[in-house]
Amino acid sequence: MMGWQPVVLWSDAAFWLILGLTGMLIWRTRASARDAWGRLFSMPAGAAATVVLLAFLAVAMLDSMHFHARLPGVPVRYDVTVRSVLDVILQPLVAVPEKTYSAPLASRLFTRIQTTDAHGLPVREFAMLNIVRLHPARPDLPVRAALRSVLTGMMVFLAGWWLFGRTGKQPVSALFAMLAATAVLVSAVVFCVQVVGHLHVLGTDKVGQDVLYEALKSIRTDLLFGLLATLLTLPLGVAFGMTSGYFGGWLDDLIQYVYTVMNSIPDILLIAAVVLLMQGYIETHAARFDTAAARADIRLLLLCLILGVTSWTGLCRVLRAETLKLRELDYVHAARAFGVSHARVLIRHILPNLGHLILITLVMDFSGLVLTEAVLTYLGLGVDASMASWGNMINAAELELARDPVVWWPLAGAFCLMFALVLSANIFADSVQIAFDPLGRRA
């Protein structure tokens, strides 16, 4: 009998489906796009951004493998709590909860609590953290951990330079940027591994939960939100954009009217209406969502769906303009003169020449959707409050910033990771545009 029972949430299935389709697409187009990918990884900024995005993706993959743990002493029953592989890896972060706030790398609570002294008398003091009391360490642990992590990062950089620098397959600047990004990530991981179990790296929140744990658990939510909502815009944007630009006439007018109307409707109103309908449906069909994870999961998917349905207009406009130009080229006229059907012309001659625009637009929209999740959750229209997300962390930090003294580290933890993801996505999008856009390369 296994000690765990696998669980596949709808968001897990969507996430792994996206990864599978993306991998298949890259494999199928590896020959035709080899030069473009080579140009992408020859740019220092693009190479470094790719390393950071792959690190975020690895965390999301670990958090997308869910299971029920078997209850101890009961061989045929499993815990109703849905856990992930990332939860198992991050278990030391939440093994010893605290009472309330504690600053990053602090050994005592941030606020005074009621305790008793050695004589049993009640006092209010900055009590020592539970994790420090159970696992005491030297006071200079953060300094020693920082030195070891920097040394490890330097060793990784030098080892990578020795292994790959002699091949000459990649420009020196791009290899330096890629190894530097890898060394920084390795140093951060090594530092956390040494400190975790003795101190809280990013402190704790109001209920004593580790902030680093919340920030890392939020990666899957925001990454899936950006990926799924972005890819849901693809079918509508491509189909309407190509159809409008290729056929023209009344069909072009109709499609332009549709996306003009869509752009005139505030997204917030549509999202608010969907959230209210969704909450009513979940409350009236509670038996279909037996766990909190399932309820939060379906809310995330529906939010991605409504954003995908309302965000295709930008891609449609870009593809319509490019299709208007492509349909006038000689090879398209020749294909139509030989009796090739419209569908075949669109698929074999128009769509391949729109590939770079589709890729560039989707990558650039991703970072915007990640920020959209944070804004919607802050307004109460985003993901479920029980689901870890940077938006929920920012929403909870609103009152913490009004305290005196200010509790700044929950907001800083969410901001730093979100900033790293969005910045890397933007840099990657710029590099993709230069590498895959033929007009951009000639310029």
pLDDT values of the chain reduced to their tens digit, one per residue, 443 residues: 456 778 888 888 888 888 888 888 777 766 666 777 778 788 888 889 999 999 999 999 999 888 877 766 656 676 667 788 898 899 888 888 888 888 898 888 888 777 766 666 677 777 888 888 888 878 888 899 999 999 999 999 999 888 887 776 778 888 899 999 999 999 999 999 999 988 899 999 888 889 999 999 999 988 888 888 888 888 888 889 889 888 888 888 898 888 888 888 777 777 777 777 777 777 777 666 666 677 777 888 888 888 888 888 888 888 898 898 888 888 888 888 888 888 888 888 888 888 778 877 887 788 788 888 877 877 777 787 778 888 888 888 877 887 778 888 888 988 899 899 988 988 888 888 787 765 554 43
- DSSP E strands in 8-75: the ranges are 66-70
Lay out the sheet containing 78-84: strands in order across.
4-7, 66-70, 78-84
User: Which residues, listed in sequence order, are joined to residue 115 by a DSSP beta bridge?
Assistant: 123
Distance separating alpha carbons of residues 271 and 305, to the nearest angstrom: 10
Task: Tokens 């997204």: give the residue.
Answer: 267
* Residues whose CB is less than 8 angstroms from the CB of residue 223 and which lie 6 or more positions away in sequence, other chains included: 56, 57, 60, 370, 421
Determine contact, residues 200/335, Cβ cutoff 8 Å: no
Q: Is the CATH code 3.50.50.60 the one for domain 217-442?
A: no
Determine contact, residues 388/83, Cβ cutoff 8 Å: no
pLDDT of residue 280: 76
Nearest-5° angle of CA 53, CA 58, CA 371?
Answer: 45
- For the chain, domain boundaries: 217-442
pLDDT of residue 442: 43
pLDDT of residue 33: 66
Three-state DSSP class for residue 225: helix
Q: Counting every residue, how long is the chain? A: 443
pLDDT of residue 403: 77
Count of H-run helices and E-run strands, the chain: 19, 5
